[in-house]
Amino acid sequence: MPSSNLNLPHLPIHHASQSYTDEPTRSRTLDLWLPRPLEDSDPKKHVWIVYIHGGAWRDPLQTSQTLLPTLKHLSPIALSKIAGIASIDYRLSPYPKHPDEPSKPDDAERNVRHPVHIADVASALNYLGAKWKVGGKDGDSEDDGGEEGGFKWIGIGHSCGATLLCQYVSRIGLHDSDIKIAGPVGLILLEGIYDLSSFLKNHKPPKCSPEIAQIYEDIVVGAFTESKEAWKKASPVSGKFTEEQWKEGRLVYLCYSNEDELVEVEQAVEMRQKLKDDGWSAGKDAGDGRIVERKALHGKHDWIWEDGTQIAKRIDEIVEGIAKHL
């Protein structure tokens, strides 16, 4: 049964902490918000929004609930085109030095490494496809994955959530059999990490203190081991984003704030070039092709989701841009 959602009257239906695995665990859950009963939405008019939070693959305080500020700012126009919104939680890498909730070695939910994070995301999306018709066939194409009568979807990821979405569409850490739904038609990538080796290189002395450099090394090693080859293979810039690989993709927003104090602008620059190399057109004037647009944000790294207004604006824009593909 849906729970009450008194703080979001424009999203009256809220399904909290839904398990997306056969054996429920505290991390492998997601939250769902719907502006109307699903049967009252039309796959030819409405899309799903799927959000993946950040937190450097390890922060227990960044969860599916980090989407709430954005939800409060969604416009009526955007909601009129949205069938539902999902926010995904996933298992985390170790963080024994967390100031408030340090991880413990025997906690299976907080001691995982790649590709477990992306495998959890894929499982959550398969659940959304099976139960909520996300990424299913719309009746126009026999090649779409999923069930008949399904909805197209747009992915939003902040920080490592953006990394995970790029890994998903390029199959990094996944097998084809792990994915049972059609891919997203659009992505909103916020302050993402796309090249792990560059990420570490840009956070070493003299660019930062030894103490800060150690934090970044702990993040990457904790999530991806000490292997530089593993970092390369797991990085989105090593993936494929061609039409053959990700045929549903139509629009990508690469969003970055020059005030970001945690992730450098070179990450967005590299990812934009990677998409261009794989056939994406830069800018708004690419007709009906596959378009990547840079979107300027303002504020520090976590302020982007803490405030939520800028993400809501990007949602307004992308649902309008995707509407012609429904």
Paired with 190 in beta bridges are 158, 255
Task: Give the active site residues.
Answer: 159, 260, 301
Q: How far is the first Cα of the chain from the last one, in angstroms, to the nearest whole number?
A: 30
- Report yes or no: 54 and 65 within 8 Å, Cβ to Cβ: no
CA distance 99 to 115: 26
Pick from 286, 275, 273, 269: which is nearest to 252 by CA? 275
Give the β-pairing of 47-52 and 251-257. unpaired
**Strand, coil or helix: 134:** strand
Q: Any idea of the CA torsion for 289, 263, 123, 48, to the nearest 10 degrees?
A: -50
Phi, psi of 189 (to 5 degrees): -105, 115
Paired with 49 in beta bridges are 85, 154
Kindly state the DSSP code that residue 22 receives in the 8-state scheme. S
Residues 6+ apart with CB under 8 A from 285: none
CA distance 51 to 84: 11
